[in-house]
Amino acid sequence: MQTSPFRTVEERKVEREQKREAVLRAAVRLFNTHGFHAASLDDVAASLGVSKPTIYHYLGNKDQVLFECVTRGIEQLRDAASAAREHPGSGLDRLRSFLRHYAEITMGDFGRCVIRTSDEVLSAESADRFRELKREIDGAMRALIAEGIADGSIAPVNVKLAAFTLAGALNWPARWHRTDGGESAETVATQMVDILTGGLAPR
């Protein structure tokens, strides 16, 4: 395809959006590997071959960069939740479907950022919004568990604590799983979900 150096208004808008996205991708990678504080915006810029003010041209400040990253991740989780709601089968089946997606997402770039970002590093306002978004995901998970209990496919457990237990277990790979070596995210996800839903004790 022939690309002319003369862009239409629409093309320029798209290009700007792509660059913005590229900044976020580069940022989230560095945040995940080095940690938010250790990754400077100079580093992020350098990894893209540009200079720091370019980042400010596309995003407000470091806090906003991080907030956008976690928002991307939360959105993926939200999508997984609504997909699970439409999944056929029992409540347990739907929950399992969600859990597997949840695990896979949190092993990806933006999902991992959601897990690794603790509230204190965000500005007070962003932290509030972030908590709110996370609460939404937690709510979705609790709803699925409750449905499963209602239709008898899940044992009557403390819903709140069960949600935390499941999320906690599935969040952990975000801290150790390396995409390069060993098991695929899918394998890990499936096995963990099996352990969680089946329990340890033999039947």
Partner DNA sequence: TAAACGATATACTCGCTGGTAAAATATAGA
Partner DNA sequence: TCTATATTTTACCAGCGAGTATATCGTTTA
Please give the Cα distance from 121 to 166 (Å, whole number). 25
In eight-state DSSP terms, residue 154 is S
**Which residue, 64 or 171, is less far from a copy of itself as judged by CB?**
171
Footprint of DNA on 63-122 (CB under 7 A): 63
C-alpha closest to that of 62 among 39, 89, 84:
39
**Which does residue 158 touch among a copy of itself, DNA, none (CB within 5 to 8 A, set by kind)?**
a copy of itself
* Contact indicator for 130, 122 with CB cutoff of 8 Å: yes
* The Cα angle at residue 150 between residues 145 and 153, in degrees rounded to 5: 70
Binder of residue 9, out of a copy of itself, DNA, none (CB less than 5 to 8 A by kind): DNA
| 47, 54, 153, 171: which one binds DNA (CB under 7 A) | 54
Least separation in angstroms between residue 120's CB and DNA is: 12
> Taking CB under 8 A as the rule, does residue 121 contact a copy of itself?
yes
- φ, ψ of residue 198 to 5 degrees: the values are -85, -25
Which residues, in sequence order, are CB contacts of 92 under 8 Å at separation 6+? 148, 153, 154, 197
| Nearer Cβ to a copy of itself (179/191) | 191
Q: Is 169 in the site for a copy of itself (CB under 8 A)?
A: yes
Give the Cα separation of 40 and 27 in Å (integer).
9
Q: Is 180 in the site for a copy of itself (CB under 8 A)?
A: no
Burial class (CB in 10 A: 0-12, 13-18, 19+), 1: exposed
Residues engaged in binding a copy of itself (CB under 8 A): 33-35, 37-38, 92, 95, 116, 118, 120-121, 145, 148, 152-155, 157-158, 161-162, 164-173, 175-176, 188, 191-192, 195-203
The footprint of DNA (CB under 7 A) covers 5-7, 9, 12, 15-16, 19, 37-42, 45, 49-54, 56-57, 61-63
